[in-house]
Amino acid sequence: MSAAKQEEANFGFKRVDATAKEGMVRGVFSSVASSYDIMNDLMSGGMHRVWKNEFVRKVRVGKDAAILDLAGGTGDIAVRLHERTGAHVTICDINADMLKVGRARQFDAGKSEGLRFVAGNAEHLPVPDSSLDVITIGFGLRNVTNIQQALTDAFRALRPGGQFVCLEFSSVTNPLLKKMYDEYSFRAIPWIGELVAKDKDSYQYLVESIRMFPKQEALKKMMETAGFARVTYTNLSFGVVAIHEGWKI
């Protein structure tokens, strides 16, 4: 692979300078931060709540565990993790606006106890080696510039026996549903983004980023390349989303 290609990354369907993608993604989520949760409800018909509940059920630790929820700015997954395990959860997100919204929302809801919000990059986690029992990331991995590097750093940060769980939009397995899903995604979601968030372009990027994300088997292999063992994935809603799970043995 040439140096030029190594220095590029996908931003939706566009190829951009890899050093620019982080700022571009930050701009997307700064724009949509205040409407992020309501847009999730509208776009998924509330199904994101079902997917997230199934996601956190994969986490198998107790109240003394060290859990890091990556790209978890609004805190909705971290709250579920805390309620399920009793453990304190650190929310790590690269976007200060998402973290600000998350802190305020969970404080106002009386659910901020047991949560800690920190700024950090998924490719270089702000934690020591072998210091975490669980790392989760929900709907965030596709926005990372170098996905393989993020997986490798997650492996570094986990203790032996640690668990990595990823919830992400994936590849629909049913051909008829895939056609319908594509029509809905490209026609309806940017329009809803314009109507509710006043930002069509950011939601156009989000739709495109889903199509550019590695499919189920490809992501499984990437996790294994990073060092994870016993890697499995579970399709939800015919592959609209998938939960990938791996262990540091």
Average pLDDT for residues 200-217, to the nearest whole number?
A: 96
DSSP codes of every residue in 118-171? EE-BTTB-SS-TT-EEEEEEES-GGG-S-HHHHHHHHHHHEEEEEEEEEEEE--
Nearest C-alpha neighbor of 189 from the set 9, 27, 45, 77: 45
* CB within 8 Å of 124: residues ≥ 6 apart: 153
* Range scoring the smallest mean pLDDT among 1-10, 84-93, 183-192, 240-249: 1-10
Question: Are 223 and 199 in contact, with CB atoms under 8 Å apart?
Answer: no
pLDDT (tens digit per residue) in 49-60: 999 999 999 999
pLDDT (tens digit per residue) in 5-43: 448 999 999 999 999 999 999 999 999 988 888 989 999
Nearest C-alpha neighbor of 173 from the set 215, 231, 207: 215
Buried b / exposed e over 10-39, threshold 16 CB at 10 Å, is: bbbeeeeebeebbebbbebbebbbebbbeb
pLDDT (tens digit per residue) in 63-78: 999 999 999 988 999 9
In eight-state DSSP terms, residue 92 is: E
The whole domain housing 149 covers 3-247
The helix or strand, by DSSP H or E, that contains position 67, with its residue range, turns out to be strand 67-70
Residues of the chain with pLDDT > 90, as a percent, come to 90
CATH number at residue 50: 3.40.50.150
Average pLDDT for residues 214-241, to the nearest whole number?
A: 98
Local confidence band at 190 (pLDDT 50, 70, 90 cut-offs): very high
pLDDT for 220 equals 98
Give the chain's mean pLDDT.
Answer: 94
Number of domains in the chain: 1
Question: Are 68 and 96 in contact, with CB atoms under 8 Å apart?
Answer: no
What is the Cα–Cα distance from 70 to 167, expressed in whole angstroms?
A: 11
Q: Is the pLDDT of residue 2 over 80?
A: no
What is the Cα–Cα distance from 86 to 89, expressed in whole angstroms?
A: 9
Q: Coil, strand, or helix at residue 203?
A: helix
Q: Read off the pTM.
A: 0.92
